[in-house]
Amino acid sequence: MPGGSLGNIGRDIVIAEGKAGRVRDASGNEYVDYLLGSGPMLIGHAHPEVTEVVREQIEKGTTFFANNEQAILLAEELVSAVACADKVRFTSSGTEATFYALRTARAYRGRDKILKFEGGFHGMHDYALMSMSPANPHDFPRPTPDSAGIPRSIQDEVLIAPFNDLETATAIIEEHHGELGAVIVEPFQRLLPPKPGFLQGLRDVTAQYGVPLIFDEVVTGFRFAYGGAQEFYGVEPDMCSLGKVIAGGFPLAAVAGKEEMMSHFDASSTEADAYLPQIGTLSGNPVASAAGLKTLEILRREGTYERIFATGNRLRNELQRMLSEAELPARVVGEAPLFDVFFTEQEITDYRSTLLADKQMLGRFNELLLARGVLKGDTKFYVSLAHDSADVQHTLDAFASAIEELKS
């Protein structure tokens, strides 16, 4: 394997098993897990109810490349839950979902350019890898490619705006609206909450010019609320991408949106030159769909989100308190189900302000936590329903000990 890894988390750690809110590595070390497989395990690892329905489906068959009952039921649930979803088309990954969302919007709009926000993560396709994490950002709206191998021509089709700067974003949209096929945004960008009015302002200006607005809800879908960030923040886009939570730990994602846009996937409902073929061997896989259905059923139970938010708020508030009492320059940023610390005194509102934070200090903090049995990604604490009081106390003790060592 290039680099000796799967290309995901960079630490030299091999996970052997996970149960509820914890994982164990191949050496037998146990960790409270805030990586959660990069977010899918919102109800915890190896949930017995999910495991049961997965086993039942495996005995009936693992994939069919045809309509199946589990996928149909999951599509119905997604349409019921998500405000912008009239229709759903499944993919196998979030990268595919955002890619097809953009292609669908361009087909509907008949325009080629897209606008995305600097620092926004939309997967690994060519459009997504424009100004995702530029070391030397260009002036807006010029994009910076983040990967080798991207055709130069893609740069001509992507415009970049700063997240949480409605004035600049509006000006770019107003200047280029005649060329724009879509605006795509993470309503909660990586770790950055939207400023009051920012998402609604985007909704207003895109609606004014008839430009489709896409929310990338691969991360936020069913995490911030059952209806996702569009419910949590009260702004409805034209389309969204969904993933992670909706598959309960299996490879499945989705594009969801308004009827008039999603009809481009239906050859019988659109002109031949506007038809959008989409074929995937495992799209709507019945095992993944069964796991997703059970996960969503569990999330609908009374008190679920209150518990997730209570856990996240306690961790987040206590971490900020300890850092402040230690007189370390640090800001805990995010929402209760998803947050992290930036080691800086500056306000964090967009990608460029995140560059002001001390990444070496964060890296050291992460390693100190790992040594104390707390696993997280390079950035992000993902909070789960399965994190119990013992997990929280273990984490708070690790925070206190790690911060004490950071001070020295």
Q: What pLDDT band is residue 7 in, cutting at 50, 70 and 90?
A: confident
pLDDT at 295: 98
Whether 237 and 310 share a structural domain = no
- Boundary residue ending a domain (299, 326, 358): 299
- The beta strands (E) that lie in 92-197 are given as 113-117, 158-161, 180-185
CATH number at residue 177: 3.40.640.10
Burial 48-57 (b: 16+ CB within 10 A, else e): eebeebbeeb
189 torsion bin: left (phi>0), alpha (psi -120 to 50), beta (else): beta
384: number of CA atoms within 13 Å, CB side?
32
Q: Is residue 39 a part of any domain in this protein? A: no
Q: Are residues 292 and 155 in the same domain?
A: yes
Report DSSP state, residue 24.
Answer: E
- Express each pLDDT in 183-222 by its tens digit: 999 999 999 999 999 999 999 999 999 999 999 999 999 9
**Average pLDDT along the chain:** 97
Q: Is the pLDDT of residue 11 over 80?
A: no
- Amino acid 156 reads D
Measured between alpha carbons, how far is 173 from 188 in angstroms, rounded to an integer? Answer: 20
Please check whether residues 22 and 85 belong to one and the same domain: no
Last residue of a domain, one of 274, 299, 324: 299
Which residues are within 8 A (CB) of 24 and not within 5 positions of it... i.e. 6 or more apart? 15, 16, 17, 18, 30, 31
According to the model, what pLDDT value does residue 9 have?
81
Question: How many C-beta atoms surround the C-beta of residue 302 within 10 A?
Answer: 6
Say if CB 202 and CB 234 are below 8 A apart: no
Quickly tell me which residue has 């402040």 as its tokens.
Answer: 324
Three-state DSSP class for 253?
strand
Q: Kindly indicate the confidence band of residue 12, based on its pLDDT and cuts at 50, 70 and 90.
A: confident
Residues 124, 60 within the same domain: yes
Please provide the DSSP assignment of 63-85 as one string: --SS--HHHHHHHHHHHHH-TT-
Distance of CA 292 to the CA centre of its chain: 16
pLDDT in tens, 155-190: 999 999 999 999 999 999 999 999 999 999 999 999
pLDDT band at 335 (very low <50, low <70, confident <90, very high): very high
Look up the domain containing 398 and give its range.
Answer: 2-33+304-407
User: Is 41 contained in some domain?
Assistant: no
Same domain, 70 and 190: yes
Q: CA nearest 104: which of 303, 219, 252, 258?
A: 258
For residue 212, the one-letter residue type is P
Structure confidence by residue, pLDDT tens digits, 62-82 = 999 999 999 999 999 999 999
Domain-located, residue 42: no
Residue at token pair 């349409």? 79
Domain end call among 277, 299, 321: 299
Q: Is pLDDT of 2 > 90?
A: no
Whether residues 369 and 276 fall in one domain: no
Is 8 within the bounds of a domain? yes
Domain count, the chain: 2
Does one domain contain both 131 and 148? yes
Bridge partners for 372 per DSSP: none
pLDDT over 90 at 408, yes or no? no
Residue 221 lies in a domain: yes
State the CATH number of the domain containing residue 341. Answer: 3.90.1150.10
In a domain, 176, yes or no: yes
Q: Among 3-12, 283-292, 342-351, 364-373, name the one with the lowest average pLDDT.
A: 3-12
Residues 175 and 249 in one domain: yes
Q: 76 and 19 in one domain?
A: no
> Average of pLDDT values for 213-239?
98
In sequence order, the 6+-apart residues with CB closer than 8 A to the CB of 389 are: none
Same domain for 205 and 340, yes or no, is no
Specify the 3-state DSSP secondary structure of 232: helix
CA distance from start to end of the chain:
38
Supply 283's token pair.
């799209």
Token reading at 199: 């998402």
Q: Is the pLDDT of residue 10 over 80?
A: no
How wide is the angle at C-alpha 202 spanned by C-alphas 200 and 206, nearest 5°?
120
Axis crossing angle, helix 304-325 with helix 389-407, rounded to the nearest 10: 20
Residue 38 inside a domain? The answer is: no
43 located within any domain: no
Identify the pLDDT of residue 176: 98
How would residue 35 be classed by pLDDT, with cut points 50, 70 and 90?
very high
**Do residues 259 and 110 both lie within one domain?**
yes
Instruction: Report percent pLDDT > 70 for the chain.
Output: 100
**Domain co-membership, 105 together with 19:** no
Helices (H) and strands (E) in the chain, counts: 13, 14
